[in-house]
Structures are given as structure tokens and as C-alpha cells.
Structure 1
Amino acid sequence: MLNWLISVSLANRLFVMIASVVIMVYGVIQLREMPVDVFPDLNRPTVTIMTEAPGLAPEEVEVLVTRPIEFLLNGATGVQRVRSASGIGLSIVWVEFDWGTDIFRDRQIVAEKLQLARERLPADANPVMAPVSSIMGEIMLLGLRSTAEPASPEEQAAKAMELRTLGEFTLRNRLLAVGGVSQVTVMGGVLKQYQISTSPARLAAQNVTLQQLEAAARKANVIAGGGIMVRSPRESLLRISGQSLTLEEIEETPVLWRDPAPVRIRDVADVRFGGPVKRGDASAWVKLEPDLIATGQEAPRREQATPRFSGGPAVIMTVQKQPSADTLVLDRRIDDVLESLRHELPEDVVIESQIFKQADFIDAAVNNVTEAVRDGAVWVVVVLFLLMGNFRTSLCSLTSMPLSILLTVLVFHWTGVTINTMTLGGIAVAIGDLVDDSIVDIENIYRRLRENRLLPAERRRAPLTVIYDASCEVRSSIVYATLIVILVMFPLFSMAGLEGRMFAPLGMAYITSLLCSLVVSLTFTPVFGSLLLPQSRLLEDATDPLLLRWLKRLDTVALRFALRHATWILGSVAVLVTLSCASIFWMGGEFLPPFNEGTLTISLRMEPGTSLDESQRIAGRAEQLILDVPEVISVARRTGRAELDEHAEGVNASEIDVRLIEHGPPKPGWGYAALRLVPIAHLWGFDSVGRPRAVVLADVRDRISNIPGAAVNIGQPISHRLDHMMSGIRAQVAVKVFGQDLRELRTAAYDIQDRMQPIPGIVDLQIEPQVEISQVQLKVKRDEAARYGLAPGDVADLLETACKGRVVSQVLDEDRYFDLVVWYDADSRSDPDVINETILETPSGRRVSLGQ
């Protein structure tokens, strides 16, 4: 079979050459268009269910929302694991399916179960599935901030509201329209609302109840349909609009008639723009002038201590991509959209797009691997030319390398494999092997052609016959050697779970490139050799190249010494092998080597129950300490949780993204590029900017680890997400303690912490807090309520309106919409005694205070 393949290739040399050129051209085209990502597809099919349960405490969310959903999904088809998190008014359930299942079929299974779950959930709890995304889906963080200096707190609040409105309705909608974007979450600023704020005293002064005010507010902004009005011979659509667009229009709405004039909303409440009770906020800082030490210049410390920063409170937007989207292409599309938006925004509004970009890490990682492939290829060229001493034979061998790589790229394209660090790593490992088959074949062809040339003319055979026989001679050796090398990679395919998904593409890329190299050596190499070698003048020279002759002499000496001391050589090898095998037990193990992503992700967690203002104060202190580090370029902070975020974080948690300057950028110029090809000398091809990354990381940890009341964890964005996917926790090692008694679990956790703390190498050790947060419980006196004909639900609805606020309608402003909310003002909401003064109207018409 293989002999026939060689024979057919030599008989159709023109076709083989044309096919090779087509493969190379088509391979280059596909290489430019193939999606590029940092890792292979590690996304285990996961469906995220988010349920908002406004006003419920975490334990109520756990019992009333999370558990019913979990119980229904545990037995669903194909479900491998169900994880959940319950917070204040929020339930998040992650449903994981087996590898290889269709995510859309999995979502259909979950949707069917959710139809049953809705019957068991509270009336205002509506579970929804989050958009399809991936573990590496968070590709970009954007900051929207104002450069204007507010003159008063009111002006600052108005600017925060303007930024949030721009982010919510302008930037978010434009970004969601970009193909490949699955979700954009907005955090920070003030979510604009039309608010009707009152107090028990103001209502009592006009003898108006909160229910009456709520009913009036509901009627203040209405849009209704009037059907069709027929006026022959035409008809018209009848629109009934009672919409309010200004605060004054809402204020003039009557609550009730009291002769001789109505009581209006403005008589019992204030109508203004405001925001809901914040559950998250954000800020962004950018260094305008990098420290001199961070640019590689020597400067006294007094000059380095005064860097200039710009920033402050901001709106942070998180962009998630769809699993199949090309991160680099999507990044360029988003940049184009942002560039067009910059011309439409107010002059004082700035979009910070360099806070975190996954594309930067992908570019750096892919460029590093590509550079390794390129350097390996260059050294293969040099070594081949030195050993063969013949340009034609070297060209025949080297041409097979790019052809094999491009053929591998086409196989990737046909099988749906992306270009990533693992597939490129497999090709980089195989670079030396890609030319082995062709070298063996072309060297034997060259040797047989030279022997044929040195024969008398009457005994010489046709060059094609010599080439065919020479290729057939080494054919078995080439095939056997290739298959043996391929067998080395087979253990990678036995790895299960995340490890298998990570490393199997590396083995597949290695094996694919070797098989492509084998095909090239059996088809293209003999054909190309038949075109270049038969007319070579060097065939008349029977001597080997100088370097090869010298290496043969050295090999002869080494071989004779080894044969004379065979026992000593074998014993030494056995001892070294034994020591090597024994040392494995003392070697450390890690899932992946540490990355240099260029960005740090710092998690700060305060004690549960800490208010948002206090969390921001502590996180702001950490921000300033981090900004003092010379190598820091920008800092972005997110405290709490955004409305559509898939993380059940409380306001006691902050996440800070720190962008660092590159420590070793390559020096520009072809001379330095050539220098980087030479081992050891390549060190002089890179610049040294600032301090090494390990030193910077230690400096950051030293600065913020001693902040009182804060548990600190320092990592990197992608590494954190890998850790979270493996254990559900953003840490490399997680110890989980299970049990029924929460108090006993806390005791065991602190005991484990005390035992682990002295272990060398452990940093950022912390216990996930499982403590009860402060609560103010308002209990309905059922007997007293029944005396006045009130059900507990009547009282609970009134309290919910007063304390949490009730959305009575939505105000439409062009393509934007804002909630109209009725509730008590901040002072009344925060004082239980004032709340007790609320007047209720009973079925008998008698009015009583809530405290009764």
C-alpha cells in the first residue's frame, strides 16, 4: 500500500506539486481565519438558573427557592452535578451536564423542569436561565467615568445617575448587538428611578394612608389601548396616553378629593429622581504618568512617589462572550463599537477599555508559542544545512515542515479545533519530529543517487527508479518510528474530566502533525527530491560534509569507549534511572504552570453584615495602597453584585482588577529579534521594566494583607476561573467540611485553619464565612390584626411597600424605561419606631397604626 502510494506520487509529479501548493495556500488562508483562544473548550455544559426573590433573607431563599429547584433538577436526564448559592433576595443554581452533550438540549431539559418548579416557588419569584456562556467567557471589563469635578453631593449623584443610564441603555444595548456577545452586566453608578418618598408623619398630617398613595401613583402614569376607531372610509388606531414624563406631572396627581380641593401627591410626598438601595458599586483609576521606575529609568524615590492618577467612582461593565465566538475577532469588533461611541458621549465621559482584556493575554500567549515554533524552525534549518552541507537536500527536507504544519491546520479546520496554546504547544513539541521522516527519506535518496552517479554509465539506472527504491527501503523504518512516537501521547487521551479536556488537544495536535508529516514524506518529499537532486553536481562528491565527518569521528570514539566499558555504562544508567524514578515522589504537582496574565484579581471579603459604605471604604483604602505600587497601570474595583451578575456576592465582598506593566517586553529591531533566537544570548533581547513579577506580587500582598477585618485572596482572572470551575471556589486548594450543625462546622473549620497555617507555601488562607448577619424582624401580631379584620398578608404588603419600595409602573422615555417607585424616605425606613406609626385602613373603615 505504501509502496503503491510512493509509486503513484512519482508517476504524477505535477499533480503532487500542484496539490502541495494548493494545500499551502489554502492552509495559510484558513490559518488567518481560524478562531484563536487561550485554552481549548473547557466549558462543561452548564446551565445557570437565576431567581430574584426580593426582600427574602438568605435562609428563606434557601428553603423557598433554591431547594425546590435543586430537588427537581437532581434527577433530570444527563445531570452530573448541581451547585447553588443563596444570598439576600437571590438564588443561583448551576446545573452541570456530562461532557459532549448539546447545551441547547440541556437547556431544554432545564426549561421543562422549571415549568414544574414555578408552581412551588413564591409568587414574585421567577427563575430564568442565564445566557449561554463559558468559563472563559468574561473577555473584557469596561469602565465608564466622568472627568468633571462635582461641586456638590447632589451634582455627584446626578452624574452617577447619568453614567449608569448611559451604561445601561446606550453602551449595553450597542454591545449586545455585536455578534458573539452573550451578556453585558452593568455595575456602579445610580440606577435612575422616579421615586415617590413619604413618611408616616406626612401621611398622617393629611389623613392619607400608604395604600391610597400607592393607588394614586399607579394611576399617575398609564398607557392604555383604545382599539380601532372607524371613520369611513378610513380607520385609525386609538391610543390612550396618561403618561407622565416629568416630576411635576406626577406631583400634581390627586390622591383623593377633600372639599374644596384635592389632596395631591406633592402634599404628602416628595417626587424626585433617585436610586434603589445599592447592592453594589464600582470605581476605576488609571495612571496618567507611569512612575519612572516602571519605565526602566533610574530616578530618586522622591520622584517615584508622586504618580498622577485619574479616576474615581465609575460604572463597570462586564462583557461575556458566547462559547463559539473568536475572542480576538470579537475584541476588535467591540473596540470598533467603543470607538464610534466615544464620539457620541458627552465630553466629560471617558470609556476605559484597558482595565482587563482577555485578548491581550491570548495575544501574548499565542505569540510566545508562535515564537517558539518559529525559533525551533530556524534552528532546524541551521542544523540541517550544517549537517547535510547541501542546499538542495536541506530545501527538500525543510519544505516538508511548513507543508506538514499547514496540512495540520486544515485538519483542525475540518474537525472544528481552534488555535490555542495547547494545540500550538503540540505543534511546537513536534517541530523537530516533523522533518525527521523527510530527512531520513531524502538522505537515503541522496545517498542512492550519489552511488548511482558514481557507477559506470552503462550500469546507471533511471533517477526515478533509484528514488522509488530508496524511498521504499526506509519506508518501514519511517512508519514504525512515527507510530512508536505517537504511542507516547496516548496516555493523554485516558485523562478524564477537566484534565483530559485541557491536555488532549495537545496530544491530538502532536499526533496529527506527525501523521501529516508521514504523508508528506511518502508523497511530496520523493517528488520534490526527484526535481532537485538528480542534476546536482554534488552527487559526484563522495565525501561527507566537514561537520558530519567530525561528528562521525567523535561518535566512533564514544562508541568504542562505551563498548569497552559496557558494564560500567549500564550500571551508571541503571542508577540514574532508579534515582530519577525515586525523585518523582518528592516532586511537586500542579494542574497548570503559573501564568503571567498581566492582570491581578484581588478578592477582599469583610465580615458578613458589613454595610456597602464600609466595604467601599475598606476597598478604597486597598485601592490607594495598590496604586502606590510603581508597576501598577490601572485599578478597577467592584463591590457587591451587579443586577444580572451570576455571582451571589454580598456587599461585604469586593473584587479589584489590577493591571501591571509588562516586565520584560522585547526590544524593537531586527538585531534584537535575531539575538532572541540564540539560547542564553536571548536574554539580552528583552528590556527590563520595573521589578520582576514575583517581587511586585509580594509587594502588593504585603501592602493589603494587614488591612483590619479583610480576608485577602490574590490571583489572576483566568486562573481564578479555572479554580472556580474545578472546586466551585476561587482557590487552588479547597477543603470542604460537611455536616448538619453549622456551629460544629465553624469549629472544625477554624481547627483546620490552625493546622494548615504553618505549612510552608500557603498564602491567603481564609475560611468562607458562614455566620448569621444582622436582621431586624418585624412580626405581625396575628391576634391584634384579626381584631381589626386584617390578614397578615395585608400588613406584610404594606411593610414591603414602605421598606423595600413597590414598583407601580414604568416611565417610558424614548427607548429607555425607568421604574416609578413608592416607598418611605431613608430616615423613616431605617427607624422601626417610625415604621410603627404607619396608618392602616381596616375593612370596617377604622384606621389604626401599625404598632397596634
Structure 2
Amino acid sequence: MVEKLISFSLKNRAVVLLVSLALFGWGIYSVQQNPIDAIPDLSDNQVIVFTEWMGRSPQVIEDQVTYPLVSNLQGIPKIKNIRASSMFGMSFVYIIFDDEVDPYWARTRVLERLNFAQRLLPENVTPTLGPDGTGVGHVFWYHLKTDKMDLGEQRALQDWYVKFALQTVPGVAEVASFGGFEKQYQLVLDPLKMQYYNVSMTEVMKAVKTSNNDVGGRKFEMSDRSYVVRGLGYIKDIKDVESIAIKNYNSVPVKVSDVGSVQMGGDLRLGVFDANGEGEVVGGIVVMRYGENADKVIAAVKEKMKEVQKGLPDGVTFETSYDRSDLIAKAVESIKGTLIEEMIAVSVVILLFLFHWRSALIILIQLPISVAIGFILLQAFGISSNIMSLTGIALAIGVVVDDGIVMVENAYRSISERQEELDSNP
């Protein structure tokens, strides 16, 4: 078989060259299309269900939220395992599917089952799906640098401007904000005043909730004109909250300001984000979508940040906290450097021992073609170009070089011996 293949190749050199050029071109195309990342994605094929019910203990969360969800999600097909954890005010359910299952098919099946499980949960408790990313999807971190804005203003700028802009970048599943304070209206009630006016906590909560709303009326015509009546009730500042009427006390309306005080404060925090020990900062984590090219996503995020920078207040700039593209670039440069070093070393070895430049050229041609075929296989099997796969290619280059040197030297020796026989027997 090998002899026939060698004979065919020698008799059809043009076909061999065309096939080699086609494989090399296909390999270049595969390099451009294959996702590039620094870290191989070895995480489970999972869908995360997150449920928030603040103020409840882990045991209550386990009994009333986690257990009903897990028991109803078990009937989804192609599930490998379900894991769950309950903590103060939050529940996490991890549905792990078989590796060959499409992640978006899995998310659809989970969402269908959640519609049924919703009726088993307490009122106003709604489970949500986590982002369609993986455990290694955190590809880019950034924070805002400013000397004038406080942490609350920075967090508002991040949540209501920067985050929405970066989420429009193709390949980005989520931009998670961190640091700072989330602004909120805080109502501090006085128990003595509530007792004096006979006002309960439930009445205060209901009044504040129902008063922060716009209501629609009807249209009526007068003097050949149409008028639309509607009530504007959205809260805009602290005074609007203070003026909300709770109930009547001896025919006198009791307002929020009569039973407590209203202030602007920050939401409860579970941690802080410190930058190099220089103080707290506000920023975001860019989570890449499943199966995307990390290098292209990071480049697109950086381009979008240049556009967003134009709309930031004076003195506010972006600072990079973590950029995986640096590690990706070093990994790619490593494989390029290894390939060039091997080609130079092989050329020197062949020229020193054989003094035959055509033999060295044979090995120099086979190295890039072999690497190109490797990327074709990576693309075919859906494996990204990461540190592990690129390291495997770099190690394989040494094997290819060794085989090439042995085969070229053997061919050169066989041809020399045959030539000597022909010269001795003219």
C-alpha cells in the first residue's frame, strides 16, 4: 500500500502539489474561523436557575423555593445531574445536561418547565435563567477611574449607561456590575409615631408601592377637541415620597413624613471591589456567550468602549482590570515562535549533515502544511485554539521534524547508494 502511494505521488506530482495547496488554504481558513481562547472550556454543559427572595433564611429558601424547583426540573430529558444550593435570600439550581446537548435547546426546555413550576413557588417569587455563558466566560474586566464622582454616582453611571451599551456587542452574554452603591430611597419609620397614628408597616408599604405609578384615564371631547386624561404618579425625588398619603386620622391625611423620614442611601452590599489596594472602584465583568471567539469579542468590546468613552462625564475614564486577550496573544506568539525556531533548526541540521538545500526545503514545506491540517481537525471537532491545543501542536511539531529528518536522510542515502550502483555498472 505504501509503495503504491509513493509510486502514485511520484507519477502525479501536480496532483500532490494541488492537494497540498488545498489543504494549506483550508488550514488558513480554519485558523481564521476557529475560536481562539487562552483557557480550554472544560465546564459542564449546564443551565443555572437563580431565584431571589430577600430576607428569608436558607432553610425557608430550601423548603419553599429550591426543593419545588429541583423536584419539577428532574423530568427534563437528557439531564445528567441536578445540583442546588440555598443561601440567605437566594437559591441556585444547576441543571447539568449531557455533553452533546445543544445549550440553547437545554435552556428552552428548562424555561418551559419553569413556567409550570412557577405556580408552586411563593407569591412574587420568580426564578430566572442565568446568562448563556460558561465557567470560563469572564473574558474582560474593567472599572471606572474618576476623582470627582462618589461610588453611588459611579454605580448609577455603570448600571444605566455603560452596561447597556456594552451588552449590545455581538458575543456578549452579560455585563455584570460590581462595586459602589446601588442608589435607593430608604424609609426610616418611627414606631412611636406609627403607634400614635395607628399605622402599620403593611399600610406604609402598600401606600408607597401603589403611589409610585402612572394611571390612565379616558378620552373626552370638548369644543371640537379631544383630551386624554391620565394621572402622573411616578416618584421623582424624596419630597414625592414624603408627601404620599397613607390613611386618614381624624379626617386628617397621614403622610409618610408624619411617621418617618426619607433619605437617599445605598442598597445592602455583600462585598466590595478594591483596585490594587488603592480604594474601592466601580466596574463590570464582560461574560462571553457560549461558543464565541474570545479574541474577537474582547476586540469588539474595546471598540465599543471607545464609543462609550465619548459620552462619559469629564474626568471619567475606563481602566482595564483583566484582559484575557494578552494571554491569548502570548499563546499564539508562542506557537509561531516554536514553528519558526523548528524550521531554522531543521534547515541548519540538514544543511550541515547533508549539504543539500532541496532536502531542507522538503521539511520546511511540510511543517506549515502539517500545522494547517491540525487546525482543520480542530475546527472539524469543535475544539477551540487554546493553551492546551496549541501546546499539543507545538509538541507535535517536534515529532514532525524528527520524522522528516529521518525520512529525508533515508531517502537521500537510498538515492546515493542507487546512484553509486549505476555509476559502478554503466
Same topology, TM > 0.5: yes
**Aligned counterpart in structure 2 of residue 392 of structure 1, from 329, 344, 358:** 358
Asked if the contact 1:401/1:434 (under 8 Å) is kept, the reply is yes
Give the 3 Å change call, closer, same or farther, for CA 241–397 of structure 1 in structure 2.
same
- Counterpart of 2:27 in structure 1 is 27
How far did 1:240 drift? 4.7
- Going from structure 1 to structure 2, the CA distance change for 1:212 and 1:13 (only over 3 Å counts) comes to same
Tell me, what secondary structure is at the counterpart of 2:279?
strand
Q: Which residue of 2 is the match for residue 362 of structure 1?
A: 328
2:376 pairs, out of 405, 410, 418, with 410
- The corresponding residue for 2:42 is 42
In the alignment, which residue of structure 2 is the partner of 1:126? 126
List per-residue Cα deviations over 1:120-142 (Å, max 9, x = no partner). Answer: 32223222221221121122222
**1:222 alignment partner, SS class:** coil
- Assess if the C-alpha contact under 8 Å between 1:161 and 1:191 holds in 2: yes
Matches within 5 A, 1:298-447: 311-353=278-320, 355-439=321-405, 441-447=407-413
SS of structure 2 residue aligned to 1:328: helix
Q: Considering only aligned residues, what root-mean-square deviation do their CA atoms show, in Å? A: 3.4
Contact residue 187 and residue 280 of structure 1 kept, 8 A: no
CA distance in 1, matches of 2:354, 2:225: 92
1:426 maps to a residue whose letter is: G
1:133 counterpart SS class: coil
CA distance in 2, matches of 1:234, 1:102: 58
After TM superposition, list the pairs within 5 Å mapping 1:676-825 onto structure 2.
none
Structure 2 residue runs without a partner (length 5+)? none
- Distance (whole Å) between structure 2 residues aligned to residue 387 and residue 228 of structure 1: 98
Aligned to 2:215: 224
Q: What is the SS of the residue equivalent to 1:91?
A: strand
Secondary structure in structure 1 of the residue aligned to 2:94: strand
Q: How does 1:556-567 map to 2 (within 5 A)?
A: none
Q: 1:29 to 1:203 in 2, by over 3 A?
A: same
State the structure with bigger RCO (CA 8 A, min sep 6), 1 or 2: 2
- Contact in 1 for aligned 2:144/2:281 (Cα 8 Å): yes
Q: Deviations over 1:776-835 (max 9, x none)?
A: xxxxxxxxxxxxxxxxxxxxxxxxxxxxxxxxxxxxxxxxxxxxxxxxxxxxxxxxxxxx
The equivalent residue for 1:107 is 107
For residue 324 of structure 1, report the CA deviation from its aligned partner: 0.7
Contact between 2:36 and 2:294, CA under 8 Å: does it hold in 1?
Answer: yes
Structure 2 residue matching 1:284: 3-state secondary structure = coil
Residue of structure 2 in register with 1:169 after alignment: 160
SS in 2 for 1:248: helix
Deviation at 1:278, TM superposition (A): 2.8
For the residue of structure 1 that corresponds to 2:136, the secondary structure is coil
1:768 paired residue number:
none
**Cα distance in 2 for residues equivalent to 1:77 and 1:218:** 41
The equivalent of 1:185 in structure 2 is 176
How far, CA to CA, are the matches of 1:313 and 1:253 in structure 2? 36
Q: Secondary structure at the match of 1:285?
A: coil
Per-residue deviation at 1:86? 1.3
Shift of 1:438: 4.5
The offset of 1:435, in angstroms, is 4.0
CA drift of 1:441 comes to 4.8
Once the two structures are TM-superposed, the CA of residue 234 in structure 1 deviates from its matched residue by 11
| Residue of structure 1 equivalent to 2:262 | 271
CA distance in 1 between counterparts of 2:211 and 2:126 reads: 27
- The one of 227, 236, 247 aligned to 2:238: 247
> Secondary structure of 1:142's match?
strand
Measure how far apart 1:107 and its partner are: 2.7
- Do the aligned partners of residues 441 and 228 (structure 1) sit closer, same or farther apart at CA in structure 2, a change above 3 Å counting? farther
Q: Residues 211 and 65 (structure 1 numbering): CA distance in 2 closer, same or farther, change over 3 Å? A: closer
Shift of 1:164: 1.1
Per-residue deviation, 1:448 = 5.2
Q: Does 1:143 find its partner at 2:182?
A: no
Shift in alpha-carbon separation, 1:208–1:408, aligned structure 2, 3 A: closer
Q: Is the contact made by 2:194 and 2:200 (CA closer than 8 Å) also made in structure 1?
A: yes
The Cα of 1:390 is off from its aligned counterpart by 0.9
Which position in structure 2 is the counterpart of 1:61?
61
Rounded to whole Å, the distance in 2 between the matches of 1:241 and 1:178 is 36
Offset, 1:45: 0.8
**In the superposition, relative to structure 1, how do residues 415 and 230 fare at CA in structure 2: closer, same or farther (>3 Å)?**
farther
Amino acid at match of 2:349: V
User: Alignment partner of 1:55: what SS?
Assistant: coil
SS of aligned partner of 1:80:
strand
Contact kept, 8 Å, 1:165 with 1:191, in 2: the verdict is yes
Asked whether the 8 Å contact 2:197–2:249 carries over to 1, the reply is no
Contact between 1:139 and 1:320, CA under 8 Å: does it hold in 2? yes
Check conservation: 2:331, 2:390, Cα contact below 8 A: no
Aligned-pair distance for 1:391?
0.8
Q: Are 2:218 and 1:203 aligned? A: no
Query: Could you say what secondary structure the match of 1:242 adopts?
Result: coil
Q: Any conservation in 1 of the 2:346–2:363 contact (CA below 8 Å)?
A: no
CA offsets 1:742-765 (integer angstroms, 9 cap, x no match): xxxxxxxxxxxxxxxxxxxxxxxx
* CA 238–368 in structure 1, closer or farther in 2 if over 3 Å, else same: farther
Amino acid paired to 1:395: L
Contact map agreement 2:342 2:401 (CA 8 A) in 1: no
Shift, 1:182, TM fit: 1.4
Residues 6, 345 of structure 1: alpha-carbon distance in 2 compared, 3 angstrom cutoff: same
* Alpha-carbon separation, structure 2, partners of 1:26 and 1:103: 28
**Aligned equivalents of 2:119, 2:203: Cα separation in 1:** 31
The answer to whether structure 1 residue 52 and structure 2 residue 52 are counterparts is yes
Taking structure 1 as the reference length, what is the TM-score of the superposition? 0.45
Cα shift at 1:273: 2.2
> Match of 1:87, as an amino acid?
M
Residues 35 and 292 of structure 2 are in contact (CA less than 8 Å); yes or no, is this contact kept in structure 1?
Answer: yes
d(CA) in 1 for partners of 2:146, 2:93 = 37
In 2, Cα distance between the equivalents of 1:53 and 1:260?
38
Contact 1:36 1:418 in 2 (8 A): yes
* Other structure's SS at 1:108 match: helix
TM superposition shift of 1:26: 4.6
Residue of structure 1 aligned with 2:276, choices 251, 261, 285:
285
Whether the 8 Å contact between 1:145 and 1:284 is mirrored in structure 2 is: no
Provide closer, same or farther for how the CA distance between residues 215 and 60 of structure 1 changes in structure 2, counting only shifts above 3 A: closer
Q: Shift in Å at residue 112 of structure 1? A: 4.0
Distance in 2 (CA, whole Å) between partners of 1:112 and 1:90 is 22
Tell me the secondary structure at the aligned position of residue 177 of structure 1.
Answer: coil
